[in-house]
Structure 1
Amino acid sequence: MPDSPLRRAALEMEAYVGADGWDQAPRLFALVPTADLVSQQPGLAEELGDDAGELTLIEQDGVPADRPLEDLLTEIAWPDSVLGCAAVLERIMLPPEAEAGLPDDPDEMMMAAAAHPDRQEVRLVAAVTRDGGAHSAVRARTPDDAELLEGPDLVPGLVEQLRQTLA
């Protein structure tokens, strides 16, 4: 996988959120150039340390846990000082053959998916920048040492929703 500041930020975010375990509310982050942040607040240079990447993640407080993040994203617009944004959320995934038999009602669909024997709980990470860059990652809840899958287009719907917040 080619390395980039955006990829490193997405992987840092997955590790940061993953350290808090599972069953978390969605989390939203602004991505700002570290150099800009340090020039505006020189005291942060020492706090960030020598290992600071090109992008700094700034977690957004107050993301409502009782609303789907996808709905909230339709109401967000970032200031020009924000180079990009990212989100981390947990979802249930089903194999394609299981999706065909799900009910149409959204509440019934969620209950059926949660009870399905082939369900897989996953953590989704998506990060985008104003210049069109994207990186995503997916980690399954089980087994405990599940491999982190990553690439630019693993969660295309979430990537597109995040891009719309930067438009």
Structure 2
Amino acid sequence: MTSSTDSAGAGFSQADLGNALAQCLAYTAELPWGSAPTLFALVPTAVLAQQAPDLIDPDDDSALSPIVQETGTSDLEELLTTLTWPAQVVGCALVTEITLLPPDAEADLDAALEPLLADPAAADEAARQAAHAHPEKQSARLAAGVLRAGKRVALLALRDDDAQSADLQTHPDLAPNLLDALADTFHG
């Protein structure tokens, strides 16, 4: 049985969370590009081994195990504002596709958005279309994860159809709004 500290995720490190996110990205790497975002519950591997031993490889020494969640919705904002987790879930992660643009692309986006600022939905769609049409765009998968205890990590895997493994990148300011939304699922 785990202690209440462990069930809150306090006993897990930033590296444990990063390793779980790398597992999430490895899972989604098998999915085709254009797939819907994938949500994961993060459960202590020791708890999962006790409750469902046939789901865990006996040689698995990871601290956290990601478990894919069937969401039944494509509205990510609605999902994250209504989501709650049972006590055994010490964290959660989301992998979604994003489009990266070079810094000088801001002028192109501003030109596409300016006539539509009165209509936020139209402005969002125009921004999406301008980003996808930009000749220097780069696709990536973003994995963002949080623990109940407050630890946060976001990893970025750039799309490279020729590479056998993704080069994962992170930055302290990567995806703060998504990390906040995931953290809020534990405080709702």
Identify the TM-score tier after normalising by the shorter chain. 0.7 to 0.9
- Indicate whether 1:160 and 2:180 are aligned: yes
The answer for the alignment partner of 2:82 in structure 1 is 75
Q: What's the secondary structure of 1:166's corresponding residue? A: coil
Q: Tell me, yes or no, if the aligned pair for 1:134 and 1:153 is still in contact at 8 Å.
A: no
Q: Does 1:37 align with 2:48?
A: yes
Tell me the distance in 2 between the aligned counterparts of 1:81 and 1:144.
39
Change (3 A) 1:24 1:52: farther
The one of 147, 151, 164 equivalent to 1:133 is 151
1:144 CA displacement:
3.2
Deviations along 1:131-156, one digit per CA (max 9) or x if unpaired, are 11112211121463362213554222
What is the aligned-residue RMSD (CA, Å)? 2.2
Partner of 1:51: 60
Summarize deviations over 1:86-125 as a string: whole Å, max 9, x none.
0000011222332342414111221111111222211100
Give the match's secondary structure for 1:4. helix
How many angstroms does 1:128 deviate by?
Answer: 0.8
Question: What's the TM-score once normalised by structure 1's chain length?
Answer: 0.84
Is it true that 1:97 corresponds to 2:104 in the alignment? yes
Out of 22, 37, 44, the residue aligned to residue 11 of structure 1 is 22
Moved more, 146-155 or 100-109: 146-155
Deviation of 1:53 after TM superposition, in Å, equals: 1.3
The total of aligned residue pairs comes to 162
One-letter amino acid matched to 1:134 = R
**Aligned-partner residue type, residue 154 of structure 1:** L
Contact 2:39 2:71 in 1 (8 A): no
Distance 1:71 1:122 in 2: 23
Q: Identity over aligned residues, as a percent?
A: 41
Report the CA distance between 1:36 and its aligned residue. 1.6
User: Which 5+ residue runs of structure 2 have no aligned equivalent?
Assistant: 1-12, 118-122
Normalising by structure 2, we get a TM-score of 0.76
Contact 1:6 1:128 in 2 (8 A): yes
Residue 61 of structure 1: which of 70, 85, 89 is its match? 70
Q: What SS class does the counterpart of residue 117 from structure 1 fall into?
A: coil
> 2 CA distance for matches of 1:57 and 1:130?
15
> Deviations for 1:13-54, whole angstroms, at most 9, x for unmatched residues?
11111123422110000001111222223444xx43212411
Largest Rg, 1 or 2: 2
